[in-house]
Amino acid sequence: MRALAKLVEDTEGDVPVAAIEGEIDASNVADLGQRLRALLTNRSESLVVDLVTTTYIDSAGINLLFELAAELHQRQQRLYLVVAVRSPIERMIGITGLVNAVPVHPTRDAALRDAGAPAP
């Protein structure tokens, strides 16, 4: 069986970055959530989640992002999303109101600047 999503981990300065390729749904959201949370330390100020190569996200995936944003806020950390302009993912986060709860950027560089990562 082929995995629906692939999580590619990276860091820019002290900012962990997770690019999710493929589909996010109820079948893989628990694993993805666990892996995203594992990228953070007590010293982390932010997490960038790059959804540019995400092809599908269902309500479980949207809920994960809302929950992750709330958890980070309580820890005085911040979640930043990278979402392709005019993509189905942009439409979903707009419909659900996630765009009002989490900073969304069209490029990884813009999200990293907002997150305070040093310029490359």
* Residue 113 maps to a domain: no
Count of CB atoms situated within 10 Å of the CB of 97: 11
Tens digit of each residue's pLDDT (9 = 90 or more) over 14-72: 999 999 999 999 999 999 999 999 999 988 999 999 999 999 999 999 999 999 999 99
Query: Phi, psi (5° rounding) for residue 54?
Result: -80, 130
Residue 20 falls inside a structural domain = no
Q: Looking at the domain assignment, is residue 7 inside a domain?
A: no
pLDDT at 108 over 80: yes
Question: Predicted confidence band at 120 (pLDDT cuts at 50, 70, 90)?
Answer: low
DSSP 107: S
The reply to whether 74 falls in a domain is yes
d(CA 55, CA 52): 8
Q: What is the mean pLDDT of residues 84-93?
A: 96
CB contact at 8 A, 25 and 61: yes
pLDDT confidence of residue 116 = 86
- Domain assignment of residue 57, yes or no: no
Structural domain boundaries, residue 86: 27-44+62-106
Q: Is residue 77 part of a domain?
A: yes
Number of domains in the chain: 1
1 pLDDT band (50/70/90 cuts)?
Answer: very low
Mean predicted lDDT score pLDDT of the chain: 94
